[in-house]
């Protein structure tokens, strides 16, 4: 299948693209490089550096590459930032997404896999959360993702657009070629690894007074390779259904302190921490019930061990200590269209 991956030069997008190519799909990467890296574009994929709000170019590219389906990952994803600048999130996550849907409709592209988020549930009292549980986002980030999910439902009713929404929990790890490289970095595992490598002085813990087993937030971590696999399964499912799925490992999750302690054990160094006040928009606990995607799509997390996720993150950072642009990958990339 010919698939356009929006946000395909980002952390998850690059590894999803890699998985698609491995399974024999033709991939086109569409990314404005606001957060992505040219060096993260999967080898052999045409690359369009552009914004989703450029509707004319978007329509041209859907036609030129005869795109049959879209995997939509392009978004801003920081809950704390979204509380300070909601306009940015409504523009980049919702308005841009609606621009994409309009272009798809005009070009008769009627299949989309959407990278949603567990943040749509907000601070749910019930854990683990299921897809049918109430949604009550605590940030514009979660709210804009939920709004786009709802837009997809109405687009299916009006235009027949099939969709699968994948509600991510916390992606972690790396492939051999691609990993996390944000500036600034905000995700826990790469921050821990940077502290272990001496690139930062400590790891900040935002709140240690939650009603959890050690006072710090609990999260569900899923290996990014397992997450990528969920996208290819979702793409196949579009022949039969539209659906919403949680993508996480479930269980009891891990507290922030447990992740730091496991990283110290895996990497073999003490990792300094600094406790700070809670961040607005952070739920105390967020863990997935992923039985639905297991039952309907046959997805299984094959890399559930937290230590393995940390080791994959650490190894990638050790092997790629500089930005993507310094990794020697430029020569093999297609020039932007």
Q: What is the rounded distance in angstroms from the CA atom of residue 134 to the CA atom of residue 120? A: 9
Q: What is the rounded distance in angstroms from the CA atom of residue 8 to the CA atom of residue 29? A: 5
CA atoms within 13 A on the CB side of 300: 2
101-132 b/e with 16+ CB inside 10 Å = b?
bebbeebebbbbbbbbbbbbbbebeebbbebe
Q: Are 227 and 20 in contact (CB under 8 A)?
A: no
**DSSP letter, residue 334:** P
How far apart, in Å, are the Cα atoms of 300 and each of 15, 23, 134, 233, 254?
A: 17, 17, 25, 11, 19
SS3 of 210, please?
coil
Identified catalytic residue from 30, 65, 89, 141? 141
Catalytic: 141? yes
The position carrying tokens 């996720």 is: 309
Torsion of CA 64, 67, 72, 73, to 10 degrees: -60
Name the residues annotated as catalytic. 141
């Amino acid at each position: 299948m010919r698939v356009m991956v929006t946000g395909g030069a980002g952390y998850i997008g690059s590894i999803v693209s890699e998985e698609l190519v491995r399974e024999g799909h033709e991939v086109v990467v569409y990314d404005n490089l606001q957060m992505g890296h040219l060096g993260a574009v999967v080898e052999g994929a045409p690359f369009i550096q552009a914004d989703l709000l450029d509707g004319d170019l978007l329509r041209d590219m859907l036609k030129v590459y005869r795109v049959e389906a879209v995997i939509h990952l392009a978004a801003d994803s920081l809950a704390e930032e979204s509380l300070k600048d909601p306009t940015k999130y409504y523009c980049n996550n919702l308005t841009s997404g609606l621009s994409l849907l309009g272009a798809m409709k005009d070009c008769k592209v009627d299949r989309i896999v959407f990278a949603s988020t567990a943040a749509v549930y907000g601070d749910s009292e019930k854990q683990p959360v299921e897809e049918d549980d109430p949604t009550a986002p605590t940030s514009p980030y979660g709210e804009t993702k939920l709004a786009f999910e709802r837009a997809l439902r109405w687009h299916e009713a009006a235009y027949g657009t099939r969709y699968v929404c994948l509600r991510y929990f916390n992606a972690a790890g790396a492939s051999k070629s691609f990993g996390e490289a944000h500036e600034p970095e905000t995700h826990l595992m790469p921050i821990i690894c940077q502290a272990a490598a001496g690139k930062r002085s400590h790891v900040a813990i935002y709140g240690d007074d939650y009603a959890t087993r050690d006072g710090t937030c609990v999260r569900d971590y899923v290996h990014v390779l397992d997450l990528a696999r969920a996208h290819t399964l979702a793409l196949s499912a579009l022949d039969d259904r539209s659906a919403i799925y949680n993508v996480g490992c479930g269980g009891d999750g891990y507290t922030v302190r447990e992740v730091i302690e496991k990283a110290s054990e895996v990497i073999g160094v003490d990792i300094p921490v600094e406790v700070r006040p809670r961040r607005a928009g952070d739920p105390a606990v967020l863990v997935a019930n992923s039985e639905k995607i297991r039952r309907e799509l046959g997805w299984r997390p094959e890399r559930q061990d937290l230590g393995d996720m940390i080791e994959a993150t650490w190894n990638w950072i050790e092997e790629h200590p500089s930005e993507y642009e310094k990794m020697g990958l430029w020569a093999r990339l297609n020039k932007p269209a």
